[in-house]
Amino acid sequence: MRPLIVIGNWKMNGNLASNQDWIKTVARGMESGMPSGRQFAVCPPFPYLSQCATLIKEHSLAFLSLGAQDTSAHEVGAYTGEVSSVMLKEMACKYVIVGHSERRQMHHEADEIIAAKALQVLDAGMTPVICVGETADEKNSGRAVEVVRGQVAKQLMVLQDRLADCLIAYEPVWAIGTGKVASAQVAQDMHRAIRLQLAEFDEDVASHVGILYGGSIKSDNAVELFAMPDIDGGLVGGASLDPQEFLAICQA
């Protein structure tokens, strides 16, 4: 059985005071127990990982794990400004997002770099969350499945059956931060297409990989999305900044 996973991606938001309030509120909300068979994580910016790791420990927040938003494609060395996966593991991270569309678009990250990052994450003993998704133009020209299949194929080429230990996040670029959530059926169809592509490679990999949806998830659309058979949870941006909204999505 694939677990249902909800991961909050704070992007470049938060500060020492608001992070503390967020963890405190989520801890209170999760105190009364959370639905079983589910995993939850939050990905703050790098400088706050240590603070959030300490707060999660202080509140004995067994339900909540920590993740990072990116990592270096290199293991160690003269790479000014980079953060290695081994460092993230030391900061108690369990998940690392790689290939987010904001990094693909604004930092020109190619599939090869993203696969190299995913390998670093795996080698350090964490779970990569590999983001894929088409732009509005690609969708409007009827190429959504082709584009996403292409992105997944590049990961398969490098990661092979190690993809079984990864999560894939389908995040249509046109749905990110726009309020235009993909309908549950549109998202399900793409998740199904990804699952079938994985099965063409290896049935076992296909049945293991969790495929999360991301793009304008809110508490009022999460229930319908998460009910879909191939949607194994969500990668939540804007709505994860509000701890009450994040809790409501986790309950969905």
Residue numbers annotated as active site: 100, 171
Query: What is the binding site for ligand 13P (CB under 6 A)?
Result: 9, 100, 171, 176-177, 214-217, 235-239
Contact 79, 72 (CB under 8 A): yes
Q: Which is nearer to ligand 13P, 128 or 214 (CB)?
A: 214
Residue 78 DSSP label: S
* Alpha carbons 243 and 145: distance in angstroms, whole number: 34
Minimum Å gap between C-beta 238 and ligand 13P is: 3
Q: Which is nearer to ligand 13P, 102 or 206 (CB)?
A: 102
Residues 6+ apart with CB under 8 A from 83: 46, 68, 70, 71, 72
Minimum Å gap between C-beta 102 and ligand 13P is: 7
What is the maximal distance between C-alpha atoms in the chain? 50
Q: Which is nearer to ligand 13P, 9 or 120 (CB)?
A: 9
Minimum Å gap between C-beta 36 and ligand 13P is: 25
Half-sphere exposure of 141 (CA within 13 A, CB side): 7
Minimum Å gap between C-beta 206 and ligand 13P is: 23
Residue type at position 116 = A
Supply angle C-alpha 178, 46, 18, rounded to 5. Answer: 70
Half-sphere exposure of 1 (CA within 13 A, CB side): 6
Q: Is 129 helix (H, G, I), strand (E, B) or coil?
A: strand
Q: Which is nearer to ligand 13P, 206 or 250 (CB)?
A: 250
